[in-house]
Copies of this chain bind each other. A is one copy, B any other.
Amino acid sequence: MGKIRSDIAWSTADRIVVRGKSFPEEILGKMNLGDFAWLQLTGNVPTPQQSNVFNAIIVALVEHGLTPSAIVARMTYSCAPESLQAAVAAGLCGLGTNVVGSMEGAARYLSEALPKDAPADTDLEALAKQIVARFRQDRIPVPGLGHVIHKPIDPRTPRLFEIAKENGYSGRYIRLLQLVHVEAQRASGKNMPINATGVIGAISCELGFAWKITRGFGVMARAIGLVGHILEESQNPIAREVWSRTEEEATSHVRPEASKS
């Protein structure tokens, strides 16, 4: 038989211990939500600098407007208000390749090109050229670059770079992302911004996270955002209107004239 072991938390009748700390005495009322998320994920209390940077990147992922995820959560809530948790779950299901994939993709190529123990004199420009060349060869847009709405720059990007820098986390991964940006613009002849998820992917590497878990940052942040949308839906609903308009228009080409509104 294999082993079943978890090192996150344990409890007895009078104790609750999370990541080795007494939950009531050392955590509750002493750590904010972002800092506790860091502890939950890494097993360590963040430094003030880590706290600043980590809170910023998670905050940046909470609310992205009336996205498909938000519409999905609202529609699900309107049909099953007794299962609020299922409405959030439904909204999260869409946080895949076409949404948070950009963050994951950026973190992946940055960390794969530049392992933590890469020599100090690694030629980042050469790496950037290789990264861009490979994406161009595969005819895949470079993750972390470009934005449908935010042009010519994504307004979150300079602020995120600044936060990373102020806290000592503007290292080689951010530099490499910037070089990838320059090279991608040069090779394509097009202007495109570094988008927020690209920066967050790079910052995740700076903070030492594996690229595979970065999608989880988007998921935990968006869960908060979706609860906000569900609360608004309960007060000022839009789901039923979206439904009825969509259904009516979608079938107007086949329904008999008399039943059209």
The answer to whether A24 and B159 have CB atoms under 8 Å apart is yes
Contacting residues, chain B, for A86 (C-beta < 8 A)? 83, 85-86, 89, 92-94, 96
Known A89-B92, A92-B85: A245·B72 in contact at CB below 8 Å: no
Segment of A63-71, A122-130, A138-146, A177-185 engaged in the interface with chain B: A63-71
A4 within 8 A of B: yes
A79 within 8 A of B: yes
**Contact residue among B94, B151, B162 (Cβ-Cβ distance under 8 Å from A79):** B94
CA distance in complex: A86, B99 (Å): 14
CA distance in complex: A210, B227 (Å): 13
The answer to whether A159 and B238 have CB atoms under 8 Å apart is no
Interface size on A, residues (CB 8 A): 126
CA distance in complex: A133, B60 (Å): 45
A105 within 8 A of B: no
A163 within 8 A of B: yes
Closest B residue to A258 by CB, please name it: B12
Known A4-B249, A16-B156, A32-B55: A95·B68 in contact at CB below 8 Å: no
Pairs across A and B, CB under 8 Å, 8 listed? A4-B241, A16-B155, A68-B243, A78-B98, A80-B98, A81-B97, A90-B93, A242-B242
